[in-house]
């Protein structure tokens, strides 16, 4: 143990780790974010609020039990680095780490996870998976799974259409673009289960709506959503 600690401090001397947001050197017990940035992360606390702004995105579109997101993603926010690095810079461990922190906080303050049976990360198209090398939502799911002790299912729901980037599209275009993208390949494992769908960020809710619409074909299934961030205009 002593040797392990000694090696780790020696490593940090030669290979310092930096806060993803403010770039200050991380202390040994810090991970991804320094304490200051972790404390000031703009949390939504949606898990404490039934009918919260994220749940309202899905009203009249698809039936869900609950939805929550860890933090607000505002234009120009310095926290945008978290999602950018996670998605485009190969820093998959960011997803795992922030998701673990998020899950601990939710478990400590609410019953959000109590009835969840299984986690499904929003799938990537196989071509995109090859290109990026990993599915960022799956890494978020890993962090949730580790803390909440829940199984991850990556087999039942697949993505069979390659969609262009959604960022430049209108709300209507996004919904049209994402229609028929997902497919349910087996429903037996999910029958009667409460499924938690996980994505990195929610904007209009089109992707999660499309996934949930497909999943709702499973007999007696119920669905909740969890994302790391929610875009706030």
Chain center to CA of 75? 19
User: Shortest Cβ distance from residue 198 to Zn ion (Å)?
Assistant: 25
User: Shortest Cβ distance from residue 82 to Zn ion (Å)?
Assistant: 11
User: Shortest Cβ distance from residue 34 to Zn ion (Å)?
Assistant: 3
Spell out the residues 6+ positions from residue 203 whose beta carbon is closer than 8 angstroms to its own: 166, 174, 231
User: Shortest Cβ distance from residue 139 to Zn ion (Å)?
Assistant: 21
Tell which residue, 175, 47, 199, has the closest CA to residue 55. Answer: 47
The beta-strand segments (E) located in 108-221 are 118-121, 157-159, 182-184, 194-202
Task: Report the distance separating Cα 100 and Cα 140, nearest Å.
Answer: 8
Comparing CB distances to Zn ion, the nearer of 81 and 137 is 81
Comparing CB distances to Zn ion, the nearer of 34 and 226 is 34
Comparing CB distances to Zn ion, the nearer of 21 and 106 is 21
SS3 category, 80: helix
Comparing CB distances to Zn ion, the nearer of 40 and 115 is 40
Judge contact between 195 and 224, C-beta under 8 A: yes
Binding site for Zn ion (CB under 5 A): 19, 21-22, 34, 37
């Amino acid at each position: 143990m002593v040797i392990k600690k000694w090696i780790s401090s020696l490593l940090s001397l030669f290979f310092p780790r930096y806060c993803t947001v403010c770039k200050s050197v991380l202390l040994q017990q810090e991970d991804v974010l320094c304490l200051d940035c972790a404390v000031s992360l703009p949390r939504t606390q949606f898990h404490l609020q039934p009918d919260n702004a994220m749940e309202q995105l899905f009203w009249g579109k698809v039936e869900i039990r609950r939805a929550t997101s860890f933090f607000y993603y505002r234009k120009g926010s310095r926290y945008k680095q978290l999602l950018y690095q996670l998605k485009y810079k190969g820093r998959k461990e960011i997803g795992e780490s922030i998701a673990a922190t998020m899950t601990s906080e939710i478990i400590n303050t609410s019953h959000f996870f109590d009835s969840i049976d299984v986690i499904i990360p929003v799938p990537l198209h196989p071509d995109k998976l090859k290109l990026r090398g990993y599915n960022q939502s799956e890494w978020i799911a890993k962090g949730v799974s580790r803390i909440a002790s829940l199984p991850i299912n990556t087999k039942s729901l697949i993505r069979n259409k390659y969609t262009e980037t959604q960022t430049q599209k209108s709300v209507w275009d996004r919904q049209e673009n994402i229609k028929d993208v997902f497919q349910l390949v087996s429903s037996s494992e999910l029958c009667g289960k409460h499924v938690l769908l996980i994505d990195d960020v929610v904007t209009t809710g089109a992707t999660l709506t499309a996934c949930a619409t497909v999943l709702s074909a499973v007999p007696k299934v119920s669905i909740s959503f969890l994302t790391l961030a929610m875009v706030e205009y």
